[in-house]
Structure 1
Amino acid sequence: MTAASPHADPRGFLRALYDAAVARALPAENTAAFLPPPPKGRTLVLGAGKAGGAMAAAVDALWPKGAPLSGLVVTRYDHVPPAYRARPGRIEVVEAAHPVPDEAGRRAAQRIAELAQGLTADDLVLCLVSGGGSALLAMPAPGLTLDDKRAINKALLNSGAAIDEMNCVRKHLSAIKGGRLAALCAPAKVVTLLISDVPGDAPEVIASGPTVPDPTTCADALRILQRYAIAIPEAARRGLESAAFETPKPGDMRFGGHAVHMIATPRQSLEAAAARARAAGIAAHVLSDDIEGESREVGKVHAALARAVARRGEPFAKPCVILSGGETTVTVKARGGRGGRATEFLMGCAIALQGEPGVHVLAADTDGIDGVEDNAGAVVTPDTLARAQARGLKAQEFLDRNDAYNFFAPLGDLVVTGPTFTNVNDFRALLVV
């Protein structure tokens, strides 16, 4: 199946590329090759993340029907695939809040920690880990409360900190992340299946690495908190300063014999989108799958590249599509605004493009949720600013108050998909015709 015509239907074409990227990352398509054989003992499935429900459904469908299988996975609210919700399998799936933890996430993390106890060397633990697990596995370190974790998490999300920085702090203030879940499972063998949502696909960063050794330290976490001027309770400060909250490190014998498999990555999804574009006769260029930085500034840089292509045919000849991924950040400077990374990127891009003819842009999160809103992202067209002006919407004012959602919504330019049941981070496509 080819994409919609990029000339006659630019929006449809860009949406087809996004759909191809998401399809490449679906657990049902990527799990079979990485499943080990059933063990001598029992098989326990534990996991967390926005793709957790779909990963559990895939494992349940693929695991031999006569082989014992049980477990618990926590995913975001409304992220259980409808078929598995209607007919639950052998793996229990529960839901909790993201990106700020709630009591349901704390209870799920506690139950997962309890299930990990008492295993033997004959047992196998399949850990299903995807982006979002940091918030969903909400088990505070000793002396901390869920409210402490929530406050620190909110501050990190609004600070502009990069994902590896946020997760460094999160894992050191957790009783289950940063390799601690795998340590609880000893002496059972642990096989971790990962869907990456982080730049560089580092296993220790994805969902704050609950099953892999952690190379970062308490001192690193303290420096990050100081860098972004984030206040923490005295119990957290004591735990970090004394290294009482230190995580298991590389070389720890408890990780011996464990296996880690990356079953879906941002790069694979971008290449799937590029292949769909080429099938439609459009040259496709993948810039990078690990772009970071302030969303609006990254949008300006992408706009400059698209303008160069549109006006001078450099560095790429048109028609073409330019693809990128990664995880940008938003430093929230105003209260009350709505939007996420994708729409903030698009605001910066639209303002910089100033209606450049022939340039159409789609940016969306591959989990179907941009921040905490009901949209995956939005689109920018050559007439976006003109249509906004006709409605009395001043783009820069919306950007200044971090209110991109309310800029794109009245224009009918939001991309709404609902949960996709996977998550390989930001997806951006710029079509130049």
Structure 2
Amino acid sequence: MSQRPPIPPETVEAVLRRLYEAAVAAALPSNTVSAHLPSPPRGRTVVIGAGKAAASMALAVEAVWNGPLSGLVITRYGHGAPCRRIEVVEAAHPVVDTAGLAATSALLDRVAHLTEDDLVLCLLSGGGSALLAASVPGVTLEDKQAVARALLKSGATIAEINCVRKHLSAVKGGRLAQRIAPARLVTLAISDVPGDDPSTLASGPTVPDPTTREEALRILDRYIPEAPAAVRARLLDPASETPKPDPAHPPDFRLIATPADAIAAAAAVARAHGYAPLILGSDLEGDAVAVAGDHATIVRQILAGDGPVAPPCVILSGGETTVTVQGRGRGGRNAEFILALAVALDGAPNVHALAADTDGIDGSEDNAGAVIGSDILVRARRLGVSARSRLEDNDAYGFFAAVGGLVTTGPTLTNVNDFRAILIDRPSTA
């Protein structure tokens, strides 16, 4: 009796892309915002926000809000949306620039002098940490930029990076909420952080902060002991401490889309295409190469008949890996993951995989991620391109640009972090 033959590679890649598209669609503001909106207030409604999805979230609010509306949101360059009542300002990500500082100052003006009758609707998504920025005494923009760049290259987790950011900011770590009082504050958030922690997402500007300046100092000592003296001096100052949680006054914080939602949507599409999903989790962290190695081990177990599922199947995972930059190449964490996976699998048959950021931008490059098939290393050798050498040089982007496989979508206008899918087909048998 014959089993179904393997699906042709070009069709498998199309399935992978459908899984990614389903994950993104599950987090689009147009599909998620309206169900979570509060009732209009007696007074004014002011919309503020920051993140890669902030403009599309604002557009979704405008589409359904019944009543007067004004405000300002900050998003990454190229991630704007045609809002009519809410101003959209674009600034730099992942390192703050002068446009971000100016936009944050204007945003703070919008929430000044409000009353108890007014409502502030804060729209947050991944990327908000860099985009919503207000300086503190003694720390310059250049200091903040130097720390951000060093931490992003160090392999620090997003929670560690944001702990430092919160204690060097006049708006992060709950300080924005203090500026908004006594108005009612409701936060709508699209999570891109492992565990969906409100205090980590966009560095928690509207929620109290459980981390401390002492923790921030330890993170600084671990990853960038050569940090600017002004930064260290600020963290040593008790004034850098952030507002702490008060169980008697919990914030009104509403998650409208999460990485788990995206993975679940992709799993449903996989089942519809005849692939049994194996979900490893939506909050995986760790070095991209190490995480790729763990995934490769599971793939080999499945191919050997010893895995938790049998082909045809798909391994799904999300979260946020890190890259410790030691080489001089180009490439974000998703491209690095997928290249490391290809090296670890070494041409294992009937395996295709895709890794991409749901915001459409892998780090600071113009691709969302990359896709591979079992023949990727063969193609590379024919072109004289060494996968292992490119990986050691942190040049995953360069590898896929030369060999093929870059996934380029442009900004998706949402962000629920990384998406990874590994399709394993079964070989044909007579």
TM-score by length of 1: 0.95
- Residues 257, 326 of structure 1: alpha-carbon distance in 2 compared, 3 angstrom cutoff: closer
Match of 1:298 in 2: 291
- Mapping of residues 250-261 of structure 1, within 5 Å: 250-251=245-246, 256=249, 258-261=251-254
- Mapping of residues 348-367 of structure 1, within 5 Å: 348-367=340-359
Q: 1:223 aligns with which of 209, 218, 221?
A: 218
The 1-side partners of 2:132 and 2:340 are apart by 33
Q: CA offsets, 1:74-114, max 9 Å, x none? A: 00001013xx1xxx311101100111111111111111122
Match of 1:191, SS state, is strand
Match of 2:102 in 1: 107
Q: Which structure 2 residue ranges, 5 or more long, are not aligned?
A: 426-430
- Mapping of residues 48-59 of structure 1, within 5 Å: 48-59=50-61
Match of 1:327, SS state, is strand
The 2-side partners of 1:409 and 1:369 are apart by 15
Q: CA offsets, 1:120-170, max 9 Å, x none? A: 111100000000001111212222111111000000000000000000001
Match of 1:265 in 2: 258
- Once the two structures are TM-superposed, the CA of residue 258 in structure 1 deviates from its matched residue by 3.8
Match of 1:423 in 2: 415
The 2-side partners of 1:423 and 1:244 are apart by 33
Q: 1:37 aligns with which of 39, 42, 45?
A: 39
Q: CA contact under 8 A between 2:150 and 2:224: conserved in structure 1?
A: no
The 2-side partners of 1:192 and 1:418 are apart by 27
- Mapping of residues 67-106 of structure 1, within 5 Å: 67-81=67-81, 84=82, 88-106=83-101
Q: CA contact under 8 A between 1:329 and 1:341: conserved in structure 2?
A: yes
- Mapping of residues 145-184 of structure 1, within 5 Å: 145-184=140-179
Q: CA offsets, 1:398-428, max 9 Å, x none? A: 0111100010112220001000000000000
- Once the two structures are TM-superposed, the CA of residue 321 in structure 1 deviates from its matched residue by 0.5
Q: 1:247 aligns with which of 242, 249, 252?
A: 242
Q: CA contact under 8 A between 2:6 and 2:350: conserved in structure 1?
A: no
Match of 2:428 in 1: none
Are 1:408 and 2:400 matched, yes or no? yes
Match of 2:384 in 1: 392
Match of 1:346 in 2: 338
Q: 2:14 aligns with which of 9, 12, 15?
A: 12
Q: CA contact under 8 A between 1:218 and 1:245: conserved in structure 2?
A: yes
Match of 2:239, SS state, is coil
Q: 2:368 aligns with which of 349, 369, 376?
A: 376
Percent of pairs with identical residues: 59
303-312 vs 12-21, which deviates more?
A: 303-312
Please list every run of at least 4 consecutive aligned residues from structure 1 whose deviation after the TM superposition is greater than 3 angstroms: none
Match of 1:61 in 2: 63
Match of 1:95, SS state, is strand
Q: CA contact under 8 A between 2:174 and 2:207: conserved in structure 1?
A: yes
Match of 1:312, SS state, is coil
**Alignment RMSD (CA, Å):** 1.3
Q: CA contact under 8 A between 2:36 and 2:254: conserved in structure 1?
A: yes
- Mapping of residues 165-204 of structure 1, within 5 Å: 165-204=160-199
The 1-side partners of 2:227 and 2:315 are apart by 42
Q: CA contact under 8 A between 1:31 and 1:263: conserved in structure 2?
A: yes
The 2-side partners of 1:111 and 1:157 are apart by 27
Match of 2:286, SS state, is coil
The 1-side partners of 2:277 and 2:209 are apart by 37
The 1-side partners of 2:270 and 2:50 are apart by 33
Match of 1:292, SS state, is strand
Q: CA contact under 8 A between 1:189 and 1:258: conserved in structure 2?
A: no
- Residues 77, 195 of structure 1: alpha-carbon distance in 2 compared, 3 angstrom cutoff: same
- Once the two structures are TM-superposed, the CA of residue 257 in structure 1 deviates from its matched residue by 6.6
Match of 2:282 in 1: 289
- Once the two structures are TM-superposed, the CA of residue 252 in structure 1 deviates from its matched residue by 8.3
- Once the two structures are TM-superposed, the CA of residue 6 in structure 1 deviates from its matched residue by 7.9
The 2-side partners of 1:326 and 1:338 are apart by 21
Q: CA offsets, 1:325-376, max 9 Å, x none? A: 00000000123x1100001001110100000000111000000000111100
Q: 2:319 aligns with which of 321, 326, 342?
A: 326
The 2-side partners of 1:138 and 1:259 are apart by 22
Structure 1 counterpart of 2:32, one-letter code: N
Structure 2 counterpart of 1:323, one-letter code: L
The 1-side partners of 2:283 and 2:225 are apart by 26
Q: CA contact under 8 A between 1:198 and 1:327: conserved in structure 2?
A: yes
Match of 1:324, SS state, is strand
- Residues 308, 252 of structure 1: alpha-carbon distance in 2 compared, 3 angstrom cutoff: closer
Count residues in correspondence.
419
Q: CA contact under 8 A between 1:137 and 1:176: conserved in structure 2?
A: yes
The 1-side partners of 2:216 and 2:153 are apart by 17
